[in-house]
């Protein structure tokens, strides 16, 4: 049986020059190369390449392409960075298209609501204690604490799914 590294390298087409992109020739999802490990868990090819050639990806960081080719797995073209760095790394023309498409998909009411939310955030309105706690938890990689109303909605949803036979217990007590 082939190792995961051997299976990975079989699906990589390296360019003739050392600085060329190494293109993933296997399956893709949203333009990114994907593969499955021995346990059938899906792995993104560029993330696997980073870990194979450079070591583990620090928790909370993204693997960012410097070449903007989603199928590229060349370790010289990928690095780790924050979500903000990843967004800033998107070419300006594509970022503009994404914004226009997102804005066009909103109804006039949703657009007005978004503008109002931005205006509120710029007026210096304070965040609630719960929102601040959730921001701190997110920075530490911990799950957000749900409000009583959100907990009630979640529990009601689980109860409905359980009653209909659709609920699958994934090792967590209900």
The CA distance from 80 to 64, in Å, is 6
The CA distance from 31 to 125, in Å, is 40
145 shares a domain with 101: yes
- Structure confidence by residue, pLDDT tens digits, 142-156: 666 666 776 777 677
Strand pairing class (23-24; 62-65): unpaired
156 shares a domain with 99: yes
Residue 167 lies in a domain: no
pLDDT of residue 42: 92
Q: Which of 89, 105, 138 is the last residue of a domain?
A: 89
* Alpha-carbon distances of 66 from 22, 49, 88, 160, 171, rounded to whole Å: 13, 14, 11, 46, 39
The CA distance from 45 to 73, in Å, is 7
The CA distance from 68 to 87, in Å, is 12
The CA distance from 74 to 125, in Å, is 45
Residue 140 lies in a domain: yes
Residue 173 lies in a domain: no
Domain count, the chain: 2
3-state secondary structure of 133: helix
Dihedral sign for Cα atoms in the order 63, 68, 74, 77: negative
Q: Which of 89, 115, 147 is the last residue of a domain?
A: 89
The CA distance from 78 to 33, in Å, is 14
83 shares a domain with 153: no
- Structure confidence by residue, pLDDT tens digits, 38-77: 778 899 999 999 999 999 999 888 899 888 788 999 999 9
Q: Which of 89, 112, 130 is the last residue of a domain?
A: 89
pLDDT of residue 87: 75
- Structure confidence by residue, pLDDT tens digits, 78-134: 999 888 888 777 765 565 666 666 667 777 777 667 666 655 555 555 556 666 666
81 shares a domain with 143: no
156 shares a domain with 122: yes
């Amino acid at each position: 049986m082939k190792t995961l590294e051997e299976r990975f390298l079989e699906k990589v087409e390296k360019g003739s020059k050392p600085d060329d992109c190494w293109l993933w020739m296997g399956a893709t999802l949203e333009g990114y190369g994907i593969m499955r490990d021995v346990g059938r868990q899906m792995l993104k090819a560029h993330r696997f390449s980073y870990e194979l050639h450079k070591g583990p990806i620090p928790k909370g960081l993204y693997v960012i392409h410097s070449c903007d080719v989603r199928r590229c797995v060349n370790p010289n073209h990928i690095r780790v960075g924050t979500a903000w760095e990843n967004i800033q790394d998107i070419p300006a023309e594509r970022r503009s298209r994404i914004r226009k498409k997102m804005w066009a998909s909103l109804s006039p009411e949703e657009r007005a609501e978004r503008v109002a939310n931005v205006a509120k955030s710029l007026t210096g309105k304070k965040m609630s204690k719960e929102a601040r706690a959730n921001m701190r938890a997110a920075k530490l990689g911990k799950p957000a604490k749900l409000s009583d109303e959100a907990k009630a909605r979640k529990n009601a949803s689980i109860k409905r799914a359980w009653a209909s036979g659709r609920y699958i217990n994934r090792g967590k007590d209900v």
